[in-house]
Amino acid sequence: MNPEQRQTSWWVWVPTGVGVILAPLHALARFATPDGKEDLESGAVQWWAEPAARALRSLLDWSDADTVYRAYGKVWPVLLAVTALSALQVSRSRRAGRLERWGWRLTLPGLALMVLGLFGFFWIGLDVAYIAAGMPGYLLTVVGSVLLGVAFLRDGYRPWLVPALLLGWLPLDLALSAVLSAGAGTLPMMAAWALANSTARRGESRRSIPPGALPSSRQSA
């Protein structure tokens, strides 16, 4: 990949990178809210959350708990929107079969609904937005990701980590959400589409060299 292509593809990794930093911080902010305090009863949460909250106190006590939680939460719909754009670009680079087409038909609208639901919840303050749009979008995206993961494996997709992350997203989501927050559960899916987008761009780079563009051995001799 040449320098120009690196400059145009680095952004696909932004959601994953920012999400890795944001996930524990947002989780700590939630644990300070009335609804999130009961999560601290879990031993798996206590062992990291209590020392982390003391170390990051200045990032958590600059306002009341609910304000801090919603402020950090506003980043998630932005990261998810970038991920949705990355997935859309991947879909346009594929020659999809029937199963994969159904996967895209569920995944892309699902991601859009998740963005709308999280935007309404964190930016507008409409709690019902997460139930009305976010949850249905999540279910659509999970089912669509499974279909895409199966379709990619059948097609011999490389790198294999992409379909593996799509197929394993639901159990990884449940595990990460139990220890951190719901936003952390989206990280495997974000990483899958970032990796798929980067792979698609490298493929476009190879296909962009027309036959005969390189000098033959006879010409170079």
pLDDT at 221: 39
pLDDT band at 212 (very low <50, low <70, confident <90, very high): very low
pLDDT band at 203 (very low <50, low <70, confident <90, very high): low
pTM, two decimals, is 0.86
- DSSP codes joined into one string, the chain: --HHHHHHHGGGGHHHHHHHHHHHHHHHHHHTSTTTGGGGGSHHHHHHHHHHHHHTHHHHSSS-HHHHHHHHHTHHHHHHHHHHHHHHHHHHT----HHHHHHHHHHHHHHHHHHHHHHIIIII--HHHIIIIIHHHHHHHHHHHHHHHHHHHHTT-SSTHHHHHHHTHHHHHHHHHHHS-GGGGGHHHHHHHHHHHHHHHHHHHHHTS-TT-SPPHHHH-
Across the chain, what does the average pLDDT equal? Answer: 87
